[in-house]
Chains A and B, each alone.
Chain A
Amino acid sequence: MLRFVIRRVLLMVPALLVVSAIVFAVIQLQPGGFLTQYLEDPRFSPQTVETIKRQFGLDRPLHVQYLRWIQGIVTRGDFGYSFLNGRPVAGLIWERVGWTVFLALVTIACTWVIAIPLGIYTAVRPRGAAATAVNLVSYLGQAMPDFLLALLLIAFVLSRGGANVGGLFSPQYIDAPWGWARVRDMLAHLWIPIAAISLEGVAALMRQMRAQLLDVLGADYIRTAHAKGVAEQRVLWKHAVRNAVNPLISLAGLSLPGLISSTILVSIVLNLPTIGPFLYDSLLNKDQYVVTTLLLISSLLLMVGNLLADLALLWVDPRIRYQ
Chain B
Amino acid sequence: MRQGAAVPRRSSLAWRRFRRSVPGVISAAVLLLLYAVALLAPFLAPYSLVEQHPALTYQPPQRIHIIREGRLARPYVYPMAKTRDPVTFVSRFTADTSRPLPIRFFVRGDSYALLGLRLDRHLFGVDGGTVFLLGTDAVGRCVLSRLLVGSRVSLTVGIVGVAISFAIGIVLGGLSGYYAGVLDTLLQRVIEILLSIPRLPILLALATVIPASWPSTRVYLGIVAVLSLIGWAGLARVIRGQVMAVRHLEYVTAARAIGLRDMRIILRHIMPNLSSYLIVTATLALPGYILGESALSFLGLGVKEPMASWGLLLRDAQSFNALHLYPWLLAPGALIVISVMAFNFLGDSLRDVADIQSS
Contact = CB atoms under 8 A, between A and B. Distances in A.
A145 B291 contact: yes
Contact of B198 (A29, A260, A283): A260
A144 B337 contact: yes
B318 to A, nearest CB: 7
A26 B216 CA distance: 22
Contact of A147 (B206, B209, B298): B298
Contacts of B344: 139, 142-143, 203
Interface stretch (A69-77, A88-96, A172-180, A291-299): A291-299
Nearest to B334: A144
Given A30-B209, A295-B202, 7 more contacts: A15-B192, A15-B196, A29-B209, A139-B341, A143-B344, A147-B295, A258-B198
A158 B324 CA distance: 11
A31 B211 contact: yes
Contacts of B287: 142-143
B295 to A, nearest CB: 6
Interface in B1-36: 23
Contacts of B337: 140, 143-144
Contacts of B324: 155
A295 B198 contact: yes
Contacts of A158: 320
A132 B200 CA distance: 31
Given A15-B189, A19-B197, A151-B318, A145 B336 contact: yes
Interface in B280-322: 287, 291, 294-295, 298-299, 311, 314, 318, 320
Q: Chain A interface: which size bin?
A: 35 or more
A218 B38 CA distance: 44
B256 interface: no
Contact of B201 (A30, A147, A295): A295
A18 interface: yes
B115 interface: no
B82 interface: no
Contacts of B311: 145
13 contacts: A15-B193, A18-B193, A26-B206, A30-B205, A31-B212, A142-B340, A142-B341, A143-B337, A144-B333, A144-B336, A145-B314, A148-B330, A302-B196
A132 B348 CA distance: 13
Contacts of B90: none
Contacts of B204: 264, 280, 283
Interface string A61-103: 0000000000000000000000000000000000000000000
Specify the main secondary structure of chain B where it touches its partner: helix
A140 B318 CA distance: 19
A123 to B, nearest CB: 14
B255 interface: no
A277 to B, nearest CB: 12
A265 interface: yes
B99 interface: no
Nearest to B206: A26
B208 interface: yes
Interface string B329-353: 0100100111011001100100000
Interface string A9-46: 00100010011001100110111000000000000000
A219 interface: no
B199 interface: yes
Contacts of A261: 198-201
Nearest to A154: B320
Contacts of B211: 31
A298 B189 contact: no
B303 to A, nearest CB: 15
A246 B282 CA distance: 28
A49 interface: no
Contacts of A260: 198
